[in-house]
Structure 1
């Protein structure tokens, strides 16, 4: 059985069918990219899986349990982590305190004073920072970090609930090429080591083709292609949607497709 099963998923906004009857699976230990041109329905699909949007029709199951209709917090406690296009960290807190706050949320602990919260789960937070290469900067304020390092901290926060599935919304947005590749190489390593699954949206085609195990391509709300890099690179509908006829991904590996 697949870890995540999406079946006949649709979403209407008024008379507009933003996502039109799409189905796909995601397995443990797999890095799956959700790509498509502007207005394809990527973000809408992503947010239905996460519980931020209610589906008009269809099913999203995590290890056989239906997620449609559940609140995002409930879905998170079932083992679904999330990172955001704009890094969601607290700039006034230290690196380790940010991860501690994520752990407090996971364990459903609430503290009125940060001085009390600061004593909780520090060792576990440091261990997560070690996994993303940020242990040495644990006590630095997040406000002092380079943006690539902030994204690593956010990744550690996303791992705080020991996710079976991690959702990453344009994880490399705003990053330089070297930082993009380092972050996705790290993500790939964590997928293997933790045997978890990652579903990510991404606008940098170089990152997608270098690191995704499989890709699903949306256009105007419909799933038009699914497969590995070679299949997607040579798929005529994908080439037409991104570039028009007569062009290929081999000539356009760095092309940017906006969400």
Structure 2
């Protein structure tokens, strides 16, 4: 049985079908990329899986348990982490305090602005920061960090719940090419170390083709292809959706984003 099984997932907004009857599987230890042009339905798919948006129909089963209909907080406690296109951290808190806050939430402990988190789960938070290469910056406010480092802090926060599945929506958005590759290489290493599954959306094809174990492609809400990087590069329907005619992914400049 697959760790994640998505079947006939559909989302309609009035007369518009944003996600149209898509099905796919994800295994433990796999880094799966979900790609497609703007408006393909990627974020809508993520938001249904994460409980931020109700599905019109279909099924999303994680380790045999149905997720659709669960609130997002309960989904997180099933062993599913989530990062967003825009990093969600407390800018005025230190790097360490942000991860401590995530650990308080995971342990379902009450936090109050009148009862600072300092000292609670400190060692565990530091271990998570070391995993993502941010241990040396634990005492800095997040407001002082470069954007790529903020993304690393968000990754550490998402790992606080010891997820077996991590959903990452545009994890490298706004990052320079070197930062993009470093972050996804880090995620890939965490997948291998922890036998964790990752589903991520991404516009940067260099990152997708370099690190994804498998790729699924959406266009206008429909799943049009899935396979290895080599298979997706050569898939005529995918090339048509991204480029029209006369271009291929091989002609795309390194680090560039398809139109």
Q: Scaled by the length of structure 2, what TM-score is found?
A: 0.97
Asked if the contact 2:28–2:195 (Cα under 8 Å) also holds between the matched residues in 1, the reply is yes
Listed as ranges, the matches of 1:1-259 within 5 Å are: 1-113=1-113, 115-252=115-252, 254-257=255-258
In the alignment, structure 2 segments of 5+ residues that lack a partner are: none
In the alignment, structure 1 segments of 5+ residues that lack a partner are: none
Mean Cα deviation higher: 138-147 or 234-243: 138-147
> How far is 1:254 from its partner?
3.6
Asked if the contact 2:5–2:61 (Cα under 8 Å) also holds between the matched residues in 1, the reply is yes
Measured at CA, do residues 22 and 175 of structure 1 come closer, stay the same or move farther in structure 2, by a change above 3 Å?
same
> How far is 1:246 from its partner?
2.3
Asked if the contact 1:10–1:55 (Cα under 8 Å) also holds between the matched residues in 2, the reply is yes
Distance 1:208 1:40 in 2: 17
> How far is 1:115 from its partner?
4.7
1:159 counterpart SS class: helix
1:153-207 Cα distance to aligned partner (Å, 9 max, x none): 0000010000011011100000011101100100000010011011111111111
1:12 counterpart SS class: strand
Measured at CA, do residues 70 and 257 of structure 1 come closer, stay the same or move farther in structure 2, by a change above 3 Å?
farther
Asked if the contact 1:36–1:257 (Cα under 8 Å) also holds between the matched residues in 2, the reply is no
Distance 1:117 1:176 in 2: 33
Asked if the contact 1:209–1:229 (Cα under 8 Å) also holds between the matched residues in 2, the reply is yes
Asked if the contact 2:177–2:255 (Cα under 8 Å) also holds between the matched residues in 1, the reply is no
Distance 1:234 1:157 in 2: 37
- Count of residue pairs the alignment pairs up: 258
Distance 1:248 1:196 in 2: 32
1:160 counterpart SS class: helix
> How far is 1:256 from its partner?
1.6
> How far is 1:255 from its partner?
3.8
Asked if the contact 1:38–1:257 (Cα under 8 Å) also holds between the matched residues in 2, the reply is no
> How far is 1:247 from its partner?
1.4
- Superposed CA RMSD in Å reads 1.1
> How far is 1:114 from its partner?
5.5
1:194-248 Cα distance to aligned partner (Å, 9 max, x none): 1101111111111111111111000011100000100000000000000012211
Distance 1:84 1:43 in 2: 10
Asked if the contact 1:93–1:141 (Cα under 8 Å) also holds between the matched residues in 2, the reply is yes
1:117 counterpart SS class: coil
Asked if the contact 2:215–2:229 (Cα under 8 Å) also holds between the matched residues in 1, the reply is yes
2:86 counterpart SS class: coil
Distance 1:91 1:47 in 2: 24
> How far is 1:18 from its partner?
0.8
> How far is 1:116 from its partner?
4.0
